[in-house]
Structure 1
Amino acid sequence: MAETFPLLAAQPIYDNKNRFYAVELLYRSALNLTAETVGDTAATSEVVFNLCAGITTQTEQYDATAFINVSSEFLVSQSFLPIEPDKVVIELVERIKPTRAVVNAVARWYEKGFRFALDDFEFDPAWEPLLKYASYIKVDVSTLTLAQAKAFKQKLSGFKGKWLAERVEDEATKQAYEALGFELFQGYYFAKPTVVYGTRLEPSSLQLAKILSLCFEKEPDLTELSQVISEDPKLSVSLLKIVNSPLYPTASPITRVKDVIMRLGIEKLRRWIALIGSVTASSP
């Protein structure tokens, strides 16, 4: 039996009737490294890759909307996550500086159909240009008084998205924020983050470089591309897991590399190969 490792952590998000609504996916490392240590871009890539290619047993929460942190570098890189926009909410955390480049990048992602959550942005006026792209505002209830939260919410009364209270640790807090009009809740009162274990396959870096080169040819030869991917069993297995994950629902399981390419399309395949390459390069 293959050895399993911590791939990520998952913490559910609930609505005001205590129904499961979504899940936030958090970086976890077998070496106990933090997202700040490995870098936000590498952490984002690992979480997405591990979600699709590493988890050995899928449960219903991984078929739900996933809240995922990204770095400012990832946002402005002209790349997009290789998953369907309706499956993910991009969290813009306080470490991201709302520069003009970041705002423009968010606008491009928004045009592609991606949704955003403003997380711990502390109601800084510098973040106001991002409000029109946000579907959620997350408020850390451990850093504000109820009166401060009420004042901030009234100030942003024109916001059309959902308000999410995070770090809720008791029923009284949940009820107090529900009374303020918060619709979503997350915290230890509901569930602690659960570490998800699975297997991790490391494709060949040289093979990935060759495949990426083939992917970006003006008119990629799909037969040659399929053959080269098949020459790396670990990459083949990873791509088969990805295309059979809940992010790409199919009528029947896909078992051939050629069908993987047809299902993903060349654009998403390019993104996946680039993301897998970044994960492989950043592995210790």
Structure 2
Amino acid sequence: MSSKLSIVARQPIIDKNKELFAYELLYRESDTNAFQSENAKRVTMRLLSEQFLTFQKKNLDNKQGFVNFEYKDLIEGVPFDFSSNDIVVEILESCSPTDELFNAVSELKQKNYLVALDDFEPSPEWDRFCKLIDFIKLDLRALSMKECAGIIRDFQHSNIQFIAEKIEDNTEFQQACQCGFDYFQGYFYQKPELIKTKKLSASAVDIFKLSALVAKRDIEVHKVNQVIERNPILSVQLLNFVNNDSRLNRSIESTQQALAYLGNDRIRKYVTYTTLSALSPSKPNIILRNLLTRAKLLEELAANIKQPHLADSAYLCGMLSLVEGLLDMALEDIVSSLSLSDVITDALIHRKGVLGSLLSIAEAIESSNWKLLEPLLKDVELHEETVMDCITNSNAWVSEM
């Protein structure tokens, strides 16, 4: 069979402190796969996951990946193709609790695999499986909080940990914590907790000016230094960051020295990270990592279409698209405080233009909305293999923080 690969996306699973715990891997079968035999489809799934897991450090930040397996995959031992250190075996809700499945899961546990039940709904047929299960995932769109709390209470004397799926906002996150969930899935933490009707401070405007400067491929370091020098907080953060680098064999005493030491590519990554974290030090680290990943992904995508000159704007657009959750401000208010081009503004607010399409592509990948993704890729003439390369490159870039 052809080894043509499709797109693998990752969705973060976080803990109660909003720190990254693991990722769920979700993949889209290419159009040709729709007509393959069941066995060929499983081989394709294996290829997709292997490609992603081969670069585990870069793609998964050294975390485990939850991988969905259908009934036949489990019976035929497909999970054994992967290391038990790399994956959590996720049993899909479509699987029937047969003797055959019980034996397959028992063998997984004997070989130290972690096992999760997806979209679990209690029934007597699943009772004997529970001693083999490490995680149970509950869909908050299908079950009420009261129902979830009841299920969790029934397992309070077990070692099973519960994952809440499809959390939509921070209020729901707090409720899920109170219910007894251990881990949480959904991009709720990127949404503003409280929209504040305020203007950006002068310091914040400086930070966004700086972000715009470092978004350019040919960074004008002297201009970057001018902005940093006039902001004491940014100056101290940059110096502390560079001087804490274990590879440094001498002390850096000026921001100009620090920038020269970093070099252009690291300036972009680290200046974006440290300056934005200075804006909202109480926000979870994963927001900043997702922000950087999306910014780099948009830049990579722009470099692979017929308008590579958009790459600089694409990086800034990707970064700004997630900043409202960092500042707890409406995106429109943030944009109105900055001097942005119409191209970036239209992309951010209305998803218009090529940049708007690239931003929509990134969002579709993050949410594994494959139906939406396909026409978007056609519009900008991007092939799935190219997109997968862009995803891997952006993940690798951020993993080297």
Same fold (TM over 0.5): yes
Match of 1:146 in 2: 145
Amino acid at match of 2:173: K
Match of 1:47 in 2: 48
- Partners of 2:92 and 2:117 within 8 A in 1: yes
Q: How does 1:162-173 map to 2 (within 5 A)?
A: 162-173=161-172
For residues 41-87 of structure 1, give each alpha carbon's deviation from its aligned partner in whole angstroms, at most 9, with x where no partner exists. 3453133233146x7x9635252110001122121124543232122
Mean CA deviation greater in 58-67 or 85-94: 58-67
What secondary structure does 2:131 align onto? helix
Match of 2:18 in 1: 18
Amino acid at match of 2:124: P
For residues 211-258 of structure 1, give each alpha carbon's deviation from its aligned partner in whole angstroms, at most 9, with x where no partner exists. xxxxxxxxxxxxxxxxxxxxxxxxxxxxxxxxxxx9xxxxxxxxxxxx
- Partners of 1:26 and 1:47 within 8 A in 2: no
Structure 1: tracts of 5 or more residues without a match: 200-245, 247-284
User: CA 1:62–1:46 in 2, change beyond 3 Å: closer, same or farther?
Assistant: farther
Q: Which one has a larger percent strand, Structure 1 or Structure 2?
A: 1
Structure 2: tracts of 5 or more residues without a match: 191-362, 369-386, 391-395, 397-401
Using the TM superposition, give the Cα deviation of residue 102 of structure 1 relative to its aligned residue in structure 2, in angstroms.
0.3
Q: What fraction of aligned residue pairs are identical, expressed as a percent?
A: 25
Using the TM superposition, give the Cα deviation of residue 123 of structure 1 relative to its aligned residue in structure 2, in angstroms.
1.4
Instruction: Count residues with an aligned counterpart.
Output: 195
User: CA 1:169–1:112 in 2, change beyond 3 Å: closer, same or farther?
Assistant: same
What secondary structure does 1:85 align onto? coil
For residues 130-180 of structure 1, give each alpha carbon's deviation from its aligned partner in whole angstroms, at most 9, with x where no partner exists. 111111111101111111111111222222121110100100110001011
- Partners of 2:53 and 2:59 within 8 A in 1: no
The 2-side partners of 1:176 and 1:17 are apart by 14
Q: How does 1:188-227 map to 2 (within 5 A)?
A: 188-190=187-189, 194=366, 197-198=388-389
TM-score, normalised to structure 2, is 0.44
- Partners of 2:162 and 2:181 within 8 A in 1: yes
Match of 1:136 in 2: 135
User: CA 1:119–1:60 in 2, change beyond 3 Å: closer, same or farther?
Assistant: same
TM-score, normalised to structure 1, is 0.60
The 2-side partners of 1:77 and 1:87 are apart by 19
Match of 1:86 in 2: 85
Match of 2:112 in 1: 113
> Does structure 1 residue 156 correspond to structure 2 residue 155?
yes
Q: Which one has a larger percent helix, Structure 1 or Structure 2?
A: 2
Q: Which has the higher contact order (CA 8 A, sep 6+)?
A: 1
Higher-Rg structure is: 2
The 1-side partners of 2:38 and 2:11 are apart by 21
